Amino acid sequence: MDFQQKGIIDLDYVPGQLSLAYKKREIAAYQQHVANMLRYGYDKLSFMDSKETHERLGADFYYGGIRDTGTGHINPLKLVVGLANLASKAGAQLYEKTRATAVRTEGDKCIVTTSEGYIVAKQVLLATNGYDLGLQRFVEKYIVPIRSYIGATAPLPIDSEILRGGEAVDDSRFVVRYFRKSADNRLLFGGVESYDRSVVDHLAERIRAQIIEIFPKLGQIELTHCWGGTVAITVERMPYVRKIMPNVIYCGGYSGHGVMLAPFMGKLYAESILGKGDRLSLFKELKISSFPGGTALKAPLLWVAMRFFALMDRF
């Protein structure tokens, strides 16, 4: 948020987040979460009953939820481009389309082999998250890549009742549905996942069906764009930060929260190599379990588990 507040990068920031209960039996847990956060000093949460939820959402699909006025949402592409421009102006050299294929250490040097040559460095940060885990063989048993897909509708009418307050939304499904409005008043909607690198069949139709389930009034809405990317999850859904060889650190496994966590980890990493503190070590101490099945069986076992929990969303 410093980038937005200080006018360094225009992120299309919009305040507000709604976390919504898909099942009625989850309401008590939502109420308890608000109470717990208040006890720890965070007073930006408020519980919403079904009436307030329906009014803020513009649909009566959910039973209630939590409104958080201390957070919000941004345009992540503007963040990526803005950070790249800032880094370049500060002297960083960015090599796009130059794939790193191996990392090794020799004495006090780190050597990164790429498709175009090699780089010698004093320190290396592996920050590719769910991409190219072959490079990160040291962490493969702790990280699983999942493909997540999003669709964008045509611009909604100016007088649309949907998300009048502009908040972003997530729900309590295991295969979470998440959505918000863009700066040009489109509904951006995510809720389709796959557990391999294949492209999901009938992607637009599947996303559109999910939108209409929540917002029946959008029965004639057109999806103009669909895309996907890879997130990296851990068993505990917490970041995996480890020193995997001398002077080489891995940071990843953000489990869907990388827009916020990845820049923060970069800041902590910079502090550590500049000798300005070692807050990064706090994350190194997090206990992250390995996925069952080892590298050979974790993918099929995960597929079975994910399918089971997705099925449980229906009950």
| Nearest-angstrom CA–CA distance, 265 and 239 | 9
| Nearest-angstrom CA–CA distance, 129 and 251 | 7
**CA–CA distances in Å: residue 271 to residues 180, 252, 265:** 34, 17, 10
| Nearest-angstrom CA–CA distance, 247 and 284 | 14
Q: What type of residue sits at position 24?
A: K
Structure confidence at residue 16 (pLDDT): 98
**How far does Cα 73 stand from its chain's mean position?**
12
Q: By mean pLDDT, which of 40-44, 127-131, 182-186 is the weakest?
A: 127-131
Structure confidence at residue 197 (pLDDT): 64
2-76+145-233: what fold? D-Amino Acid Oxidase; Chain A, domain 2 (3.30.9)
| Nearest-angstrom CA–CA distance, 52 and 86 | 41
Residue in 4, 134, 140, 141 with CA at minimum distance from that of residue 73: 4
Residue in 126, 74, 8, 96 with CA at minimum distance from that of residue 259: 74
| Nearest-angstrom CA–CA distance, 279 and 20 | 33
Q: Report whether 230 contacts 131 (CB < 8 A).
A: yes
| Nearest-angstrom CA–CA distance, 235 and 142 | 8
With 80 as the cut, is the pLDDT of residue 301 above it? no
Structure confidence at residue 309 (pLDDT): 66
Measured CA angle at 72 (ends 228, 261), to 5 deg: 60
Structure confidence at residue 191 (pLDDT): 92
With 90 as the cut, is the pLDDT of residue 305 above it? no
Q: What is the mean pLDDT of the chain?
A: 91
Confidence of residue 195 (pLDDT cuts 50, 70, 90): confident
- Per cent of the chain over pLDDT 70 is 93
Structure confidence at residue 1 (pLDDT): 62
Structure confidence at residue 162 (pLDDT): 98
Q: Report whether 112 contacts 100 (CB < 8 A).
A: yes
* pLDDT tens by residue, 32-68: 999 999 999 999 999 999 999 999 999 999 999 999 9
**Domain boundaries defined on the chain:** 2-76+145-233, 95-143+235-312
Q: Report whether 185 contacts 166 (CB < 8 A).
A: no
Q: Report whether 151 contacts 204 (CB < 8 A).
A: yes
pLDDT higher for 190 or 135?
190
* pLDDT tens by residue, 139-148: 888 988 889 9
Residue in 29, 64, 30 with CA at minimum distance from that of residue 48: 64
Helix then strand count (H, E) for the chain reads: 8, 14
* pLDDT tens by residue, 198-220: 667 889 999 999 999 999 999 99
* pLDDT tens by residue, 164-181: 999 999 999 988 999 999
Residues recorded for the chain = 315
Structure confidence at residue 247 (pLDDT): 93
95-143+235-312: what fold? FAD/NAD(P)-binding domain (3.50.50)
Structure confidence at residue 133 (pLDDT): 61
Q: Which two tokens stand for residue 158?
A: 């100016």
Q: Report whether 240 contacts 250 (CB < 8 A).
A: yes
- Per cent of the chain over pLDDT 90 is 76
